[in-house]
A and B are shown apart, each in its own frame.
Chain A
Amino acid sequence: MGATISINGITHHYKAGADPVLQNIENRIDSGECVVLIGRSGCGKSTLLHLIAGLLQPSEGCVKINGHQVVRPMAKWNMMFQKPSLYPWMNVRQNAGLGLEFAGRPKAEIRGRVDELLMLVGLSEYSEANVQSLSGGQQQRVALARSLATNPEVLLLDEPFSALDAFTRASLQKEVAAICRDFGITLVTVTHDIDEAILMADRVMIMNRNPGRIEQEFEVALDWPRDTAGVDFQARRRVLMEQFERSENVTPLGKPSRDRVALRRVGG
């Protein structure tokens, strides 16, 4: 089952007296919902994710998960990072079961749960393999199995697919979204990829910087499974792109949107 996340008036500075990285963030993410955070580099997306995970404590405000204030990281709200950060001295099975080991679960239970999850992520035959011998996509699958092993209520993804090739990325995006839907896990993802946002999200939060804030929200409202080549998907993509550009007041090339509008007018 998932969990409800309440973000209550969060402001965060990395150093006292410095400009805030995030300012007055207020939001609620429902249990089982998938929210994607998009925005340009430096807008505080990853910081917000770290605050939700309890890896950072906000300068002001608080995050509550199912009504409990997040004061430290817990396996119940698990985060996947851009780098899988697998432990090279452990094999695939040991890496995947590490969270359960930390939780003091019996060995037989860990074994059973890890077998289940390796099957889910398609790595059963690699259970005894050295993680260094796996491809980038397979390593992220191990990291996914490791994150799911502890039955998390919340899964936080900090661009874990960004370093993968396009095919692996697309298949992992679909798999993670499907797994989270099936298990009712609340999913919060950070990405720079508009397609990923439309593919995975129930709701997209568009963030802006200086100071970091949620500028706009966008309900995707598409049925599952989603077809990236479909007309509805492309229409949502276009609308999100326009909202994103409007919120930033810049074009993707970095020019003010007024210039772009003027150019459009000139071009007819």
Chain B
Amino acid sequence: MKAPSVSIPNQNAAGLSAVARRRLQAVTYPLAGIAIMFLCWWLGGWVLAGNPDTVIFAGFAPGPTLASLQQMLGEGALWDAIGASLYRIGAGLFWGCLLGIPLGIMVGYFTTAMQMANLPFQFLRMVSPLAWMPLAVMIFDSWDGAIVFLIAMAALWPILFSTAHGVRRIDPGWLKVARNLGAGGAQMLRKVILPAVMMDMMAGIRLAVGVAWVVLVPAEYLGVTSGLGYAINDARDTLDYSALAAVVLVIGVIGYGLDSLCGLLMRRFNWRMES
């Protein structure tokens, strides 16, 4: 007698369902990417170590770097540098948001404001934040203040333009209904405009975090004696290349962490229902 055939849908030869396969790929592919990066890094270090002209830079290889990282974390100096840099990023983003969000709402909401501000803002946006460095040094009486100013200048534009874009995309029906229900200006802002643009605003903040993190390192080359940028500069001056590579690694990891945090916040504020 022939046994009834049982077919299990959505399974491959290895017995994994499509969903499980996708989940496995979501873990294995990034791990493979990291492994390839480490391999390239290791190869680079091996090439540097093998050449007498470049052997001095062999500290960039993964082994010395990780050893240096462990030592720096143990000594606590790296934590201080991370703390100082995160404070500057936080303060710069705070000012970027404080200026960028209201200006973005104003420029997005009022056509006249948009027409007046578009050209000057586009002009200012194209100026590298680091180009403000001499001006910042003159204006602020502390190095910290100057660095926070540079980061704020870097963060301002993505936040401002994303918020303005979000406001321009608001369904006019939402505004009309709110007016019709008797909403005042503050109520309109709090209950309609801000929630409506939250996703665009968060996207702007995510971009701003990326730009600000990139600007932070050269900004911290300015007179300060703390922060990750300073740590890189210091390691270069003392020819401690393994420490320099360890700081670069930390910058990358923290940058990735900040971006992931922004991604989480974006998902938290996403009111669009996935179909």
Residues of A within 8 A of B (CB): 53, 55, 73-75, 78-79, 81, 83, 85, 87-89, 98-99, 101-103, 130, 132-133, 146, 150
Query: Contact between B272 and A88 (Cβ–Cβ < 8 Å)?
Result: yes
CA distance A101 to B190 in the complex (A): 12
Using CB atoms, name the residue of chain A closest to B275: A132
Choose from B171, B174, B181, B272 the contact partner of A102 (Cβ within 8 Å).
B181
Say yes or no: B173 contacts A98, CB within 8 Å: no
Q: How far is the CA of A85 from the CA of B181 in the complex (A)?
A: 12
Contact with A along B173-190 (1 / 0, CB 8 A): 110111111111001000
Residues of A within 8 A of B179 (CB): 55, 73
Partner of B273, one of A73, A88, A103: A88
Which residues from chain A contact B195 at a C-beta distance below 8 Å?
Answer: 87, 89
Q: Which residues of A contact B180 (CB under 8 A)?
A: 53, 55, 73, 75, 78-79
When chains A and B are docked, how far (Å) is the Cα of A79 from the Cα of B182?
A: 11
Q: Are A73 and B182 in contact (CB under 8 A)?
A: yes
Q: Sort chain B's interface into a size bin.
A: 20 to 34
Q: List 29 A-B contacts (CB under 8 A).
A: A53-B180, A55-B179, A73-B180, A73-B181, A74-B182, A75-B180, A75-B181, A75-B182, A78-B181, A79-B180, A81-B173, A81-B176, A85-B171, A85-B173, A85-B174, A89-B195, A98-B178, A98-B181, A98-B191, A99-B181, A99-B182, A101-B187, A102-B181, A102-B184, A103-B182, A132-B272, A132-B273, A133-B273, A150-B181
Q: CB-CB contacts of B36-67 with A at 8 A, as 1s and 0s?
A: 00000000000000000000000000000000
Give every chain B residue within 8 A of A150 (Cβ-Cβ).
181-182
Chain B residues near A101: list those with CB within 8 A: 187, 191
* Cβ B171 vs Cβ A89 within 8 A: no
Identify the closest chain B residue to A104 (Cβ): B187
Please give 10 more A-B residue pairs, beta carbons under 8 A apart, in addition to A89-B195, A99-B182, A101-B187: A55-B180, A73-B181, A85-B171, A87-B196, A89-B196, A89-B271, A102-B182, A102-B183, A103-B182, A132-B273
Q: Chain B contacts of A102 at CB under 8 A? A: 178, 181-184, 187, 191
Give B137-175 as 1s and 0s: 1 = Cβ < 8 Å from A's Cβ atoms. 000000000000000000000000000000000010110
B235 at the interface (CB under 8 A from A): no
Q: Which residues of chain A come closer than 8 Å to B272, judged between CB atoms?
A: 88, 132
Contact with A along B183-216 (1 / 0, CB 8 A): 1100100011001101000000000000000000
A75: chain B residues at CB < 8 Å are: 180-182
The distance in angstroms between the C-alpha atoms of A79 and B179, with both chains bound, is 10
Bound: A31/B94 CA distance, A: 54
A85/B177 contact (C-beta < 8 A), A132-B273, A133-B273 known: yes
List chain B positions with a Cβ less than 8 A from chain A: 171, 173-174, 176-184, 187, 191-192, 195-196, 198, 271-273
Question: Which of B173, B182, B191 contacts A83 (CB under 8 A)?
Answer: B173
- Considering only CB atoms, which chain B residue lies closest to A74 in the complex? B182
A230 to B50, CA, bound (A): 99
How many Å from the CB of A190 to the closest CB on chain B?
15
| Bound complex: CA A88 to CA B273 (Å) | 8
User: CA separation between A75 and B183, bound complex, in Å?
Assistant: 9
- Cα distance A103–B183 in the bound complex, in angstroms: 8
Select which of A83, A88, A89, A146 is within 8 A of B181 by beta carbon: A146
> Whose C-beta in chain B lies nearest to the C-beta of A130?
B273
**A248 CA / B114 CA spacing, docked (Å):** 44
Those 4 A-B pairs whose CB atoms lie nearest each other, nearest first: A85-B173, A89-B271, A99-B181, A132-B273
Q: How far is the CA of A103 from the CA of B184 in the complex (A)?
A: 10
Complex Cα spacing A74 to B178, Å: 10
A98 CA to B181 CA, complexed, in Å: 8
List, in ascending order, chain A residues with CB within 8 A of B182's CB. 73-75, 99, 102-103, 150
Q: Closest CB-CB distance, B269 to chain A, in whole Å?
A: 8
Residues of B within 8 A of A133 (CB): 273
Distance between B185 CB and nearest chain A CB, rounded to angstroms: 12
Q: What is the bound-complex CA distance between A81 and B173, given in angstroms?
A: 8
Q: Is the CB of A81 within 8 A of B191?
A: no
User: What is the chain A residue whose CB lies nearest that of B270?
Assistant: A89
A139 to B272, CA, bound (A): 16
- Contact, CB under 8 Å: A87 / B173: no
Q: Are B176 and A87 in contact (CB under 8 A)?
A: no
How distant is the Cα of A99 from the Cα of B271 in the complex, in angstroms?
A: 21
Cβ contacts under 8 Å, B183 to chain A: 102
Nearest opposing residue in chain B for A87, CB measure: B174
Task: Report the separation of the CA atoms of residues A72 and B84 in the bound assembly, to the nearest whole angstrom.
Answer: 53
Count chain A CB atoms within 10 A of each CB in B179, B181, B187, B198 and give the residue with the most.
B181
Q: B183: nearest residue on chain A (CB-CB)?
A: A102
- Report B-chain residues with C-beta under 8 Å of the C-beta of A83: 173
Q: Please indicate the chain A residues that have their CB under 8 angstroms from the CB of B173 in the complex.
A: 81, 83, 85
A186 to B174: give the CA distance in the assembly, Å. 24
Say how far A79's CB is from chain B's closest CB, in angstroms: 5
Q: Which residues of B contact A146 (CB under 8 A)?
A: 177, 181
Alpha-carbon separation in the docked complex, A132 to B196 (Å): 14
